[in-house]
Amino acid sequence: MIDYIKGAITELTPTYTVLETGGIGYEVHIALPTFTALAGSKETILYIHEIIREDTHLLFGFRTKGERTLFLLLLTVSGIGANTARMIMSSYSAAEIQQIIAQGNTAALNAIKGIGGKTSQRIIVELHDKIQKINIEQNGEMIAAKSAAIDNELKEEAVAALTMLGFAAGPSAKVVDKILTAQPAATVEQVIKTALKML
C-alpha cells in the first residue's frame, strides 16, 4: 500500500499529475485545488489513496492527510464513487466542504455537477458527525470551518429569538450578521441584546 509519493512533477494537468521518483513516473489523479497549489512547483509530496480492481489501478493524490481522509469519507456514502468524490473536492476547498456538511448546506452540494437532492442529503446525514472530527487542512482552515459552523448556529439561535420577539426574520438576520462581524466572540445573549437596540 502506498502512503505517499515524493517526487519531481514531470506533468501537471487539472485532473492528474505525473510524479517521478526512483526513475518511475506515477500518474496521480488530483482535484482542482491540488492542481492550483502545485502550479509552478518542481516537486511535491502527495498522500495517496489506491483503488485497485481487476481492470484498473488508480492513484489519487492529496496535499494533506486530512484531504485524503475527507475523500475516503465521501467514498463511504452510497452512490459516491471516486470520480464524484473528486468532483466534489474540485468544486470547493476541503475546509469549505467540511463547513458545508457541518451546516447541512444541501444547496451548495446540489450546485455540484452530478449531485442530486437525494445524494446531497445522504452526504450530510451520513457524514455530519464524522466530518467535524477530522483535521482537514492541518493549517488553521479546519479551525476556521469549525468556528464558521458555530457562528452559523449562533446566528440561527439569535434570529429565532428575535423573530419570537416579533421582529421580521430578514432584517433580524442582517443585523445579527453585522453584530457578529464586529464582535465575533459575542455570545447569543449579547447578540440579541445588541440587536434589540439596532432593530
**16, β-bridge pairs:** 29
Burial label for 32, CB within 10 Å (0-12, 13-18, 19+), is middle
Q: What pLDDT does 162 receive?
A: 85
Cell numbers at 175, concatenated: 443585523
For residue range 69-84, what is the model confidence (pLDDT) as tens digits? 999 999 999 989 999 9
Alpha helix positions (H), the chain: 32-38, 65-75, 82-91, 94-103, 106-110, 117-131, 141-164, 169-182, 188-198
Assess whether pLDDT exceeds 60 at residue 144: no
- Residue 57 exposure: Cα atoms within 13 Å on the Cβ side: 4
Output the pTM of the full model.
0.67
- The domains located in the chain, with CATH, are 4-62 (2.40.50.140), 65-131 (1.10.150.20), 146-198 (1.10.8.10)
pLDDT tops 90 at residue 131: no
Pairing of strands 43-52, 4-12: antiparallel
The more confidently predicted of residues 71 and 157 is: 71
